[in-house]
Amino acid sequence: MKIGIMLMNDRGPDGQPWDWRRALERWQGCGLESVDLFHGMLAAAGETVAGAKRLLDGLGLAPSIYCVPTDLISPDPAVRAAALDTIRRGIDACAELGIRQLFSHGGQHSNAGDEALGRYADGLAQAADLAAAAELTLSIENAGKLCHTDDELLRCLSLARRPNLRLTFDGGNFVLAGCESQRAAERLAPYVTHVHVKTFVPAPGHTPWPFRYCPVGQGLVDYRRIRDTVRQAGFDGCMSFEPEGGVDSDWERSLQVLTEIVNEVRRS
């Protein structure tokens, strides 16, 4: 099991641009071993996949998963075709990075309903077939309006019917969906290939959700229990901290706690 972080943008906890390369060095001191690379982040930073790999190699860090923004749900066939082209570019990036996991995100946030779910399952099946030809796993997460709950995810996997289509499990997003994250872990564990780590405390009256971010190890999501649940189903992948929530989630403290959570397994 690995300790990771999602390299999503170039903003620090205060929301201002910062030196994300130096941040990776600091985070390494908190136990960081691997990095989720987001296509959007690299493009915005003017960084290439090859450049990102050189940077990580120089720091002694490893890429864990490559993340591409797609809309496989749109009713517009041209949009879905463009999303498959993005999947192809993601597959090429995985080959360049020497990794076996591709993560598709997007589309779920602006679509809902049975028709949208059917289009999504069909698009994911096509994307998973492209990934399978390159011997890759393709994963999606619980997020947005579609596939936000454990029931929706299981239904989507059943409709797509592709063995290399797996799940990136986000315990915090289940809280936002009104689901109990541990129950979701128990139901979804056989399909989990990657884990996003963030958590919340109740905050009545807060918008858009009645929750606030808090450091890992606190709040409504018990990642030790989730760790044990997915491990029992064979998971030995990366648990990646999601640097959202600004100072409320205390990024470096969260990474330190995540390191403790993973290292407990290594010592056992």
Domain ranges of the chain: 2-267
Instruction: Give the C-alpha separation, 92 to 165, whole Å.
Output: 18
Q: In whole numbers, what is the pLDDT of the chain averaged over residues? A: 96
pLDDT band at residue 210, thresholds of 50, 70 and 90? very high
Provide the greatest CA pair distance for the chain. 51
Asked if the peptide bond before residue 13 counts as cis, ω within 30 degrees of 0, the response is no
**What pLDDT band is residue 195 in, cutting at 50, 70 and 90?**
very high
Q: What is the pLDDT of residue 109?
A: 80
pLDDT, average across residues 48-58: 97
pLDDT digits (tens, 9 = 90+) for 8-18: 999 999 999 99
Q: What is the pLDDT of residue 215?
A: 98
pLDDT per position as a tens digit, 26-42: 999 999 999 999 999 99
| pLDDT in the model for residue 145 | 86
Q: Between 108 and 6, name the one with better pLDDT.
A: 6
Which pTM value belongs to this model? 0.96
- Class of the domain covering 2-267: alpha beta
Cβ-Cβ contacts under 8 Å for 50 (sequence gap 6 or more): 96
Tokens coding 167: 């799940």
Share of the chain above pLDDT 70, in %: 100
Choose among 14, 64, 8, 3: nearest CA to 250. Answer: 14
- The owner of tokens 């797609």 is 70
223, 171 contact by CB (below 8 A): yes
Which residue in 131, 178, 194, 128 sits closest to 156, CA to CA? 128
Taking CA atoms, 175 is separated from 1, 199, 210, 213, 258, in Å, by 24, 8, 10, 11, 19
Mean pLDDT of 67-75: 96
pLDDT surpassing 80 at residue 57:
yes
How many whole angstroms separate alpha carbon 242 and alpha carbon 227? 16
pLDDT in tens, 231-243: 999 999 999 999 9
Residue 205 has pLDDT above 80, yes or no: yes
- Cα–Cα distance measured from residue 52 to residue 149, given in angstroms and rounded to the nearest whole number: 33
pLDDT in tens, 86-138: 999 999 999 999 999 999 998 888 788 899 999 999 999 999 999 999 999 99
Give pLDDT, residue 60. 97
Instruction: Read off φ and ψ for residue 66, nearest 5 degrees.
Output: -110, 135
Q: Phi first, then psi: what are they for 241, rounded to 5°?
A: -70, 135
* pLDDT of 268 over the 80 cut: no
pLDDT value at position 151?
A: 96
